[in-house]
Amino acid sequence: GKAWSGTARIDGKYRNPAWAPPPAVRRDKPNLPDVIPGGSPRNPMGVAALTLTGGEYAIHGTNVPSSIGGFVSYGCIRMYNEDISDLYNRVRVGTRVVVTR
């Protein structure tokens, strides 16, 4: 998986977001569709997403709970769906996010 650290802010909050695989993912998985609709069991964003400034990363749920804790991310922060739902309700757009190693 890809790892990063730094400071960002939440710039968007989305329930059941659609997912458009970014170029790095498409390079590794060329058979993915251009967009996977929100709510689809194939959508890796899970039930909610908090997008971060900079445009590359998000804090989001998952469609594969057993993957939590593994090195499978392209840089996003994956959470169990019940945890991202709780976090979604606790934060607002503009909240500062600090990622450390």
Domain boundaries, the chain: 6-99
pLDDT at 13 over 90: yes
pLDDT in tens, 49-101: 999 998 789 999 999 999 998 877 788 899 999 999 999 999 999 999 999 87
pLDDT in tens, 23-42: 888 999 999 999 999 999 99
Architecture per CATH, domain 6-99, reads as Beta Barrel (2.40)
Q: What is the pLDDT of residue 62?
A: 95
Long-range pairs, 57-66, Cβ under 8 A, ≥24:
57/4, 57/8, 59/10, 59/84, 59/87, 59/97, 60/17, 60/84, 61/85
Residue among 76, 78, 84, 88 flagged as catalytic: 76
Q: What is the pLDDT of residue 1?
A: 59
Q: What is the pTM of this model?
A: 0.89
Residue among 8, 47, 59, 60 flagged as catalytic: 60
Residue 79 designated active-site: no
Residue 60 designated active-site: yes
